[in-house]
Structure 1
Amino acid sequence: MRLLKLRTSVALTALLGLCSMGTFCIWPDPGGNNGPPDPSTACADGEPPAAGAAGLFFSDPKGGATPLAEDASLPIEYGPQGGQHVMVAIRHHTRGGGVWAYRLAFEPEAADPAAPEPDPAAPEPDPAAPRRPVLEGSNTVPVNACASGWTETIAPVFLNFRDGGQADAAGEIPAARGVLRLVATPRDAGEKVSAEIPLQIAM
């Protein structure tokens, strides 16, 4: 993944600054989902977004200015303490530097309202049949944005199995489908910017 001029001063300094302001505090996940890599940020070259173009978007995990394609598949990763997460790439253009809080969330795909109600007389599904896992999760990370330019961030989203997730007879688990959302808020202002994209998480 292409991340130039990696910044290492983000995690502790920004976290302490956010908590001291009483604005955003990020505590370890009590469910034990700690262990993925810390968020990383880098300043990136590029022209400012054109009028009407997005200044905040999910980017291709391979790096660069390419937006992540809708319905792309990201791999789930398993941490050393038993949790699971997915790493996402974000590209954000700001007019000046400063600490932002990125609130990331993966929401499972909603049921199709046009789908027929299940027949109570229908037989129980085959336990060996593939089942779509229902994943959900979130994370808030501090990001030290680059001054008047693009910031590239790689950050984890902690995930939990809400239901399902059983493997089929071949040991495979289908990809989870849903929407990845991001709300970015600067520490010293009330403005918010957001982005979202439908995607899949592959087991």
Structure 2
Amino acid sequence: MRVKIGSKIKGWTVVHAIRTRSDIDYDGVFLATREGRWMTAREHTGKSLDDGIQESGEWWYGEYFDNPETNEPYRWNQAVDAYEELAKKAGSCWSRFFHQRAREAVAEHLAALDPMGTWDLAAYWNKDGDTVAGATFLLPARKAKESLLEYMHVTPAVRDAFRTPENLRPGSDVDKAFQHVIGAKGDVRVRIGAHTFGLTHQASYGKLAFPHRPHPDWRAEV
């Protein structure tokens, strides 16, 4: 059985997966989520891309991030870090772009949880007031939300916040910030430490070709 992104295995939704051949055998890992719980899993070694999961749906072994006393953003941050370490043990699954690809996959999954269907937006990340740490051109709303979630995932502000026990709990300010962004239908602005993250329709279009859906109040920059 081949593990595919978006597929379900024993109720778990696969967020990211990779299976590669090294020397003799194939080896693979996948990252999955289920009702707020997160898991990293090692597939069985085998002779093809299709025999990492047994017919019964069993993988080799996994690590679970499901402590109910912690919030989901903390769980998926933990899971992505552990997933990278697991990939390093699985043949040639790991590469220097692995963490980035896994992070992108998580952002894509989270952005799709609450469909937007709205005007084009741009993501931005400012630190220490007005210093721009990251920004995009106007993008389709869901893509902009993915970019914003990636910004939030990589910033040291989030990792620093998670060093404080109260920020690990469900309903903490950090948890609320992530949930506010995930549920956003349009412009949004949140703050974590000295960092501000947001989506805005007041930005310009780049060279990326896609059908534009500007906000009714949007005006092209002269």
TM-score of the aligned structures, taking structure 1 as reference length:
0.25
Q: Name the structure with the higher strand share.
A: 1
TM-score of the aligned structures, taking structure 2 as reference length:
0.23
Q: Name the structure with the higher helix share.
A: 2
